[in-house]
Structure 1
Amino acid sequence: MTVSAEKGYLREIGNLVFHLSLLGLLVAVAVGKLFGYEGSIIVNAGGADSGAVTGFCSSSPASYDSFRPGLAVDGTDLSPFCVQVDGFTAQYSDTGQATAFLASIRYQTGQDVASGRWQSTSLAVNDPLGIDGQRLYLLGHGYSPTFSVRFPDGQVQRRTQPFQPQDSMFTSQGAVKFTDPPGYPADRITEHQLAITGIFAPTAVVHGGIMTSSYPAATDPGVAIDVYQGDLGMEDGASQSVFAIDQDQVSSGKLVRKARTNLAPHESTTLPDGTTVTFDGYVEWVSLQTSYDPAQGWALVFAVLLLVGLMVSLLIKRRRVWYRLRGDGLGHVSVQVGGLARTDQAGYGGEFERLAALAAPDTGPAPGGRRGGARAGGRAEERAVVPVVNESLAHLSDLAFECALAGYIVALVCFGIEFAAHRGGVPTEQEQRSAELRASRRSGGVAVLDRGAATPPAIGRVTDDRRGTAPMWLRFGRAGVVVTVVGFAAHLLSLVTRGLAAHRVPWGNMYEFSAMICAAAVAGFLFVLLRWRTRTVGFFVMIPVVILMYVAQSVLYAAAGTLVPALHSSWLVIHVLAVSLSSGVLMLSGVASVLYLLRSRYERKLAAEREWAEHHLHGVPDAALPDAAGTPGGPEALVTQRSRLAALPSLATLDRLAYRSAIVAFPVFTFAVIAGAMWANVAWGRYWGWDPKETCAFVTWVCYAAYLHARSTAGWRGTRAAWISVLGFVSMIFNLFVINLVVSGLHSYAGLN
């Protein structure tokens, strides 16, 4: 008689929910892109008396500077509303770091337009305004200088034009164009058109004849301008940038520079024909964006279900057990117990032993004077006063960071010495299989197939480590562990004091973000060391940690301070923390995958050498062959001089380390991507916009999803899966640093100038 049972069917339900939710999420995003739209416009804040445009009405795509409709949107059915920007306030720290942005606006919905009623409110970054199913976002700001021109006939024209910021101090560049000069015949107007190009500096400083800004607030504004007269080239219908003039017109001599000067507010310059150009002052402009996405609610629902399904499918283990009872007709019953773990997670071995023990309780003699027996064997944000940075804590944080870096460097050296001087090696996969086969032939019963339950030989230990006789290289390895723990404590102290000094979470710029990733990676290594004692991995884990922390200290360093307004959101705590932790653990997985490839190549080479030796030296007396020490040996002597890679953990250990690290980090990384999309919806009005960092994060997610699928697919385990993991690791590093520091995009919060 056979009885069987199985647990863990909920895993398959979670797997089904994950895939259906992923499909639903893609459909929701597609629907949003099909029927949604985005429009952006630059509006001057106040300054209506200067002729500046201080509002707009969303009645058609022509109302926007830029309009991005979905494929099913023709722009004829936009929900109408009007916005008037009455003022804008920006706050900055002493170092020029922006601390708060706030726009005072009035708006009308479609119903208010008919009655002429205006509603007043404030608009801040990460706090959009909902208007008739649409959302209005504050994205950025800058300065619009105002110029008045008195032409020779006495008539005056006035223009206020937004200039484009060029640096963090808001040194801005632009052009103001006067296309219809009065007092000239119609056929000669183009000969007397006027353009003012140059630099606006809110706090003007001149060095070597070049004007720049030393502070983003307008404490001492000034302009450095060139005044051109002639044909602007705008009559042929070709488009031109609003921030520059057509240089082809200048090169051809149709547009001639008449003056170059620096002006303070209310100062003037006079051209040869008597035209006077006056710098009247400035107003601030704000960049607004309107977003409409009819499927955003469904996208959120499917994203949550995707995460729930992923957690269920990864955490629940499927396992099976069966009992077979056989009688011999004499009253004796034999019970055979078998088990099968249907996932790669360990732990079923212990559970199976408990189930097997229940099959044969010690209750005394069975009928006939004999006991029954069971045989089993085998394996198995509000606006507020900006807090003052605590300089003492900030200095302590920097000092602790330097101590942590120094400790990790020492640990790297210690682990390196141990790895270089390691005696002996871990058995190869072929040797382990041979040993397991011999063991299985000596044992009886039904094997428990628990992939991952068995623990390979410990790494970083020697078999003859007697008390008081540990070799020096082994002591270096132990010292490396101690120094790593001390460095990790200093690392945590650095993060905590950094947060206390700045009165915020300590992951607001690339310096702090890098420190968080390294802390997560070191914490993961210490856990692995405690769990499996794979100490020789420490040398390879510490290499990227030391490099990254050194780069953070020397290149990415930013003094403790307040965050830019774009980061004043509770999503910073959730999104960036999840990215930091998952990235640190995935770094551990990536290192393990690289070592797996190196170890796999070494074992293939070793097997080829052994096969050659056995084939060509068959029959040669053992005494005629020198071994690794130069003394006579057998055919195996020619392959005993193993590479340093022999000290690496076994392929099974490295594969399990890479897989389990990815299993832990992938749900957190998935949550980080979802949280980032939700933050983007709050900040920019869309869940996804194919920003470079968003795109690279998606590529990384796909790589690790493919890796986890490959690990559960026959024929794709081993080297193939390891290469996919390495590809995901490279994509993650590229996304974390190259995208932030080199590629321009919306995620430019590195804290660097």
Structure 2
Amino acid sequence: MRTALFLLLLLALAAVPGSLVPQRAADPNGVTQYFADNPSLAPFLDKLQAFDVYTSAWFSSIYLLLFISLIGCVVPRAKHHFDALRAKPPRTPARLSRLAGFERREAPDGIGAVAAIESARKLLRKSGYRVVVFTAPGKNGAGETASVSAERGYARETGNLVFHAALVGILLTVGVGGGYGFSGQRVLVAGGGVFVNTLSAFDSFNPGRFFSEDSLAPYSMKLDQFTATYETKADGAFGQPIDYNAMVTTQERGQAPQTADIKVNSPLRIGGTDVYLLGNGYAPTITVKDPNGKVVFTDSVPFLPQDANLTSVGVVKVPDGLSEQLGMIGFFYPTQATSTTGAFYSTYPDADYPVLTLNVYDGDLGLNGGVPTSVYSLNTDKMKQLTGGSTGVASIQLKPGDSQALPNGLGTISFDTVHRYASLDIHHDPTQGWVLLFAASALLGLLISLFIPRRRVWVKATERADGTLSLEYAGLARGEDPRLLPAVADIAERHSKLLTGATPPETNA
């Protein structure tokens, strides 16, 4: 058991790095950004599997050792407990006066030792004790001696075993069953395209080690509308979000389309997956035309929020259709205002006065080298800045419906409209039901092991040579049992009343 506790502590310590650096399974973009921000440290941490903590060799080793240790703890104890359940309570000690709660009382006249102990046996049996009666002939002219040995609280060890067996079940379920799950992320723009539950449709995807693409249930989902409610009255909380609601239309194979709402902490259950609302933002619809007026790019581009008022940053890449590859870094202000220094900022997260500014670059976007690049970042190492910064040319500034010429006669760009988007996490975990079952079993076992005391109680009747009968009561705690002394006293009191003909009060002592 000490080994299991040590390994459990070690597992908790081993999980700490997973909260200090981004993990590939949960935040692949964060890992990419960490490499960009820490080019010398990140490769060293990667060799230590710091970005894959929960699937690393060292974390898995601790996990497996803990699993083996718990099995090694549960199996011998289960065998010992099974043998104890079949064993009889131990014989009555010769000197009960050395035990806790010892009391000596005199029995009423005319009652023999066997009769007194038989009544004690029935009383203890009714109180939930396992009992066994012992008799012995008297010595030195005294009458016979009889005693009852009683024991209760075996459920305490049963609860303890249930608790540890449930922990083994949780480890097994999470470690093995979790390998059949997956987690994927997808950004859906309101009124935009339809998401189909296929591997290629995810923006990022993190499968379990036993995942098969065939396990993806066929269904589709479209974001019809995204609404956000903000505080507008309370002082000090102006602009704070009150509610987010993503209204979607879903369709499973062979079924009619259905509408549903996805809210924070209120996921949508469909096709064996849970769809969670993780984030939201704005997606300006941008159109780029060549000098002849031909559309070479049009799309609703998701911009990433940077503050509570949803000042957002996004990247537009136009690889084809113009004389040069074009890249733009944009800033979107839902409710634009200007500071005393002339800088733009947003004063409110809703799109009351939306403004889009763009810094334009031309050159090599780096898309032809076969190396994956993030849609949310622009590598300008091989590009020339045409607007903004130190170029002396003002950044492009657009409101919805505005159009403006691109520098160097490259064409025109227009800001058509702006849509809201929702960032969704699509999660499949086949172990949820089993984990809930084992967790409930562990809680139940823990409660039983904490609140059910294990104790032994003895009642001994000795016939003296003068014909009187002496009754002795005592108990022994098998662990912490602060109620042992009152329990022994209560049994002695109830037994005395039973022998005198009075009806003893009902109790569970």
Q: TM-score, normalised by structure 2?
A: 0.62
Give the whole-Å Cα distance in 2 for the aligned partners of 1:361 and 1:152: 109
Counterparts in 2 of 1:28-47, with a 5 A limit?
Answer: 28-46=173-191
* Identity between Structure 1 and Structure 2 (%): 38
- Structure 1 residues 246 and 363: alpha-carbon distance in aligned structure 2, compared to 1, 3 A threshold: closer
Counterpart position of 2:328: 196
> Could you tell me which amino acid in structure 1 is paired with residue 364 of structure 2?
D
Counterpart position of 2:491: 355
- Secondary structure of the structure 1 residue equivalent to 2:416: strand
Give the whole-Å Cα distance in 2 for the aligned partners of 1:362 and 1:40: 72
1:85 aligns with 2:228: no
1:244 aligns with 2:377: yes
Gaps of 5+ in 2: 1-145, 233-237, 389-394, 501-509
CA displacement at 1:31 relative to structure 2: 4.2
Counterpart position of 1:263: 398
Counterparts in 2 of 1:325-336, with a 5 A limit?
Answer: 325-327=461-463, 329-331=465-467, 333-336=469-472
- Secondary structure of the structure 2 residue equivalent to 1:273: helix
- Structure 1 residues 286 and 352: alpha-carbon distance in aligned structure 2, compared to 1, 3 A threshold: same
CA displacement at 1:225 relative to structure 2: 2.2
1:227 aligns with 2:364: no
CA displacement at 1:198 relative to structure 2: 2.7
CA displacement at 1:326 relative to structure 2: 4.2
1:158 aligns with 2:298: yes
Gaps of 5+ in 1: 47-52, 185-191, 365-753
Counterparts in 2 of 1:27-66, with a 5 A limit?
Answer: 27-46=172-191, 53-59=192-198, 61-66=199-204
- Secondary structure of the structure 2 residue equivalent to 1:76: helix
Q: Deviations over 1:416-444 (max 9, x none)?
A: xxxxxxxxxxxxxxxxxxxxxxxxxxxxx
Q: Deviations over 1:433-477 (max 9, x none)?
A: xxxxxxxxxxxxxxxxxxxxxxxxxxxxxxxxxxxxxxxxxxxxx
Q: Deviations over 1:490-516 (max 9, x none)?
A: xxxxxxxxxxxxxxxxxxxxxxxxxxx
On the 8 A contact 1:258/1:271 being kept in 2, the answer is no
- Secondary structure of the structure 2 residue equivalent to 1:18: helix
- Secondary structure of the structure 2 residue equivalent to 1:233: coil
On the 8 A contact 2:281/2:304 being kept in 1, the answer is yes
- Which one of 422, 425, 440 corresponds to residue 286 of structure 1? 422
1:342 aligns with 2:482: no
> Could you tell me which amino acid in structure 1 is paired with residue 405 of structure 2?
T
> Could you tell me which amino acid in structure 2 is paired with residue 346 of structure 1?
P
Question: Aligned residues, how many?
Answer: 341
Counterpart position of 2:214: 76
CA displacement at 1:335 relative to structure 2: 4.0
Counterparts in 2 of 1:87-486, with a 5 A limit?
Answer: 87-94=225-232, 95-112=238-255, 117-156=256-295, 157-182=297-322, 184=323, 192-207=324-339, 208-249=341-382, 254-259=383-388, 260-274=395-409, 275-327=411-463, 329-331=465-467, 333-357=469-493
* Higher Rg: 2
Q: Deviations over 1:163-189 (max 9, x none)?
A: 11112211111111111134x4xxxxx
Give the whole-Å Cα distance in 1 for the aligned partners of 2:472 and 2:359: 95
Give the whole-Å Cα distance in 1 for the aligned partners of 2:194 and 2:466: 99
Give the whole-Å Cα distance in 1 for the aligned partners of 2:499 and 2:166: 52
Give the whole-Å Cα distance in 2 for the aligned partners of 1:362 and 1:24: 48
Give the whole-Å Cα distance in 1 for the aligned partners of 2:304 and 2:289: 26
Counterpart position of 2:36: none
> Could you tell me which amino acid in structure 2 is paired with residue 102 of structure 1?
N
1:24 aligns with 2:169: yes
CA displacement at 1:96 relative to structure 2: 1.3
Give the whole-Å Cα distance in 1 for the aligned partners of 2:441 and 2:420: 44
- Secondary structure of the structure 1 residue equivalent to 2:387: strand
- Secondary structure of the structure 2 residue equivalent to 1:248: coil
Q: Deviations over 1:157-213 (max 9, x none)?
A: 32321011112211111111111134x4xxxxxxx1111213211111222233222
Q: Deviations over 1:7-30 (max 9, x none)?
A: 222222222222222222333333
Counterpart position of 1:13: 158
> Could you tell me which amino acid in structure 2 is paired with residue 162 of structure 1?
P
Give the number of the structure with larger relative contact order, counting CA–CA contacts within 8 Å between residues 6 or more apart. 2
- Structure 1 residues 289 and 363: alpha-carbon distance in aligned structure 2, compared to 1, 3 A threshold: closer
Counterpart position of 1:654: none
Give the whole-Å Cα distance in 2 for the aligned partners of 1:66 and 1:292: 14
On the 8 A contact 2:386/2:407 being kept in 1, the answer is no
- Secondary structure of the structure 1 residue equivalent to 2:491: helix
CA displacement at 1:334 relative to structure 2: 4.5
CA displacement at 1:345 relative to structure 2: 4.0
Give the whole-Å Cα distance in 2 for the aligned partners of 1:130 and 1:310: 32
Higher strand fraction: Structure 1 or Structure 2? 2
CA RMSD, 1 decimal: 2.6
Counterparts in 2 of 1:437-586, with a 5 A limit?
Answer: none
